[in-house]
Amino acid sequence: MPKKYVDLETLKYILYDIHKLENLLTRERFQEHDLESLNLFIDSVKEFSDRELYPFFKEMDETPAYHKDGTVIVHKQVETVMHQSGEMGIIAAAFNYEDGGLQIPFCALQAAVYIMEAANNHLPGYTGLTQGAAELIIEFGSKTLKDLYIPNMLAGIWGGTMCLTEPEAGSSLSDITTKATPTDNGYYKISGQKIFISGGDHQFAKNIVHLVLARIEGAPKGTKGISLFVVPKNRPKEDGNLEYNDVMTVADFQKMGQRGYCTTHLGFGDKDDCRGWLVGEEHKGLNQMFLMMNGARIAVGRGAAAIAMAAYRTSLQYANERAQGRKLTSDGKKNPLEKQSLIIEHPDVRRMLLLQKSIAEGSLSLVFLASKYHDIIHSTNSQEEKEKYNLLLEMIIPIVKTYPSEAGSESVNNGLQVLGGYGFCTDFSLQQYYRDIRISALYEGTTGIQSQDLLGRKVTMQNGKALKLLAAEIMQTIKLASKDDNLKDYAVVLGEKLQLSNKVLDYLMPFAAKGNYERYLADANLFMEYMSIVVLGWLWLEMAVDANTELNNSDSKYSKTFYESKIHTMKFYFKYEIPKTNSLAESLMSNEVVTIKKDKEFII
């Protein structure tokens, strides 16, 4: 078993030195925190993860959660981690003091949960969804609802879920049919089925608080007729005791990966006794849910980034220990009398490791970028700043959800390959990372959905203002890098790629202008890939600018090798990944239309 599943030094470097957590701490919201206390928080979560998460990673895969007698049986660590996360304030961390929170910067909380996910991605979802559900109640719920549910949720005593998907309404949420019938008693009667509900039930939960999208009788069709309800598994009675609320666990889903994190099929109101309490206004449910969805999408990207990191650390350790093959001599042969080389000496293994490093660490920087925007939005008093970072965050959300999921999966694929045949064996964890990370491109809106969101909504938002703001941020780094002889060539390349993205949009926009949205969006996935590579190129250049400066700083925090490794990885990214934008642009600007269905079906 590898000793290190996360590179804590790099995590702190990116959070403190690149995204400058310290700058956030000058804001009123965070004034009671300082770097030292946050650093302690992060270290304590690392220690917690070493002790309570990482040792159970393999075991939870081998003993998947399963449905039995109307509940789901999960690994015992679910209880331990829920309770201890509550006690340590991990669930409550980012909430306001007045809601029982600690007002810790969202960034710092992401760092903590990232470490937990790198240690064992089967566990943090239980607390993560509880936190998300709590967020919705806090943001939109009445005081009664808050008082009734929040304390037990933040303490990790009660779980929480998001209930969106139904058998006929997955990517298409407008087709939700779960019904809410008003009563005279202040609550609604809920009936319907929800599927793919993560953490939806387990033997340790005294209660689970479901946040359910449903349609109030007579509501308009489509997304504008959906409302949000709190529907607990057990409803609190006035005497404080709990009473079963007719929420049935019908079945579970057995999965290829993340098998310790249960996925359930829930039935509401089978006995006509399921009560739900409206959260916020009628028919505003989808909007409310989507406010929370930004956090959920950052969380998916964060989880994928964490798995990619853990896989990288594992394959790096293997490559440093495993001897196999030899260097080629100058006549192109190998000398069998020589000792075998460590595989990390072979260029192709190095390529796979650097690919992993560039994706894993780049994804981490992307997650902190989005989290920083989130923190600025939630701590500013300036309407202008709020608006700016809101737009930037909206722009980044589909990318932070997608890049770590897709490239992260590719990264783990390369990690598995580093181990050769052992990578395919269950004695090694690479195959588990490979299976686990695959869910990320499906969770909370598939890559297809995210790409439509990016090109269809985000790029066009306020006449392209969000994209312009993002480009301006990128240009700042390009300018800084241009000033340095070591980096200016990379700055030029990134500038060209940014310009090429405009050319791509100039090509695509007329389709939208003419109302041909199908054509406009047909290759949204390729545009997503294009923009992701540009954004990652930016984040790597940003890291290289800092590392380059620190190399000339006699009392820099980290070793010379540390900074040089960051610059080296940037160079790798620019040699192997950045050029992909060219072929993507070529496909995007091709006049050949082959994926839009015409009269006949050729896909047979």
CB of 181 to a second copy, least distance (A): 21
**Which single residue is written with the structure tokens 């250049």?**
541
Integer Cα distance of 478 and 361 in angstroms = 20
CB of 254 to a second copy, least distance (A): 4
CB 354 within 8 A of CB 405: no
SS3 323: strand
CB of 590 to a second copy, least distance (A): 5
CB of 255 to a second copy, least distance (A): 5
Between the CA of residue 181 and those of 188, 193, 214, 274, 520, what are the distances in Å?
5, 15, 10, 10, 41
CB 301 within 8 A of CB 405: yes
Which C-beta is closer to a second copy: that of 142 or that of 317? 317
Q: Which two tokens stand for residue 3?
A: 């000793």
Residue among 160, 161, 40 nearest 112 (CA): 40
Which C-beta is closer to a second copy: that of 354 or that of 399? 354
CB of 31 to a second copy, least distance (A): 36
Which C-beta is closer to a second copy: that of 239 or that of 331? 331
| 444 annotated active-site | yes
Q: Which two tokens stand for residue 196?
A: 């793919």
Which C-beta is closer to a second copy: that of 390 or that of 431? 431
Which C-beta is closer to a second copy: that of 243 or that of 489? 489
CB of 62 to a second copy, least distance (A): 10
Which C-beta is closer to a second copy: that of 218 or that of 336? 336
DSSP letters of 173-225? GGG---EEEE-TTS-EEEEEEEEEEET---TT-S-EEEEEEEEETTPPSSGGG
Helix axes 106-119, 35-48, angle to 10 degrees: 20
Calculated CA dihedral for residues 422, 424, 427, 430, nearest 10 degrees: 100
Q: Which two tokens stand for residue 228?
A: 């949000």
CB 366 within 8 A of CB 404: yes
Count of other CB atoms within 10 angstroms of residue 454: 26
CB of 167 to a second copy, least distance (A): 10
Which C-beta is closer to a second copy: that of 88 or that of 589? 589
Which C-beta is closer to a second copy: that of 207 or that of 405? 405
Question: Any bridge partners for residue 251, and if so which?
Answer: 265
Integer Cα distance of 312 and 176 in angstroms = 40
CB of 576 to a second copy, least distance (A): 5
Question: Any bridge partners for residue 190, and if so which?
Answer: 180
DSSP letters of 471-503? HHHHHHHHHHHHTSTTTHHHHHHHHHHHHHHHH
Q: Which is catalytic among the residues 52, 406, 444, 550?
A: 444
CB 367 within 8 A of CB 114: yes
Between the CA of residue 135 and those of 95, 239, 297, what are the distances in Å?
8, 26, 14
SS3 250: strand
Which residues are identified as catalytic?
444
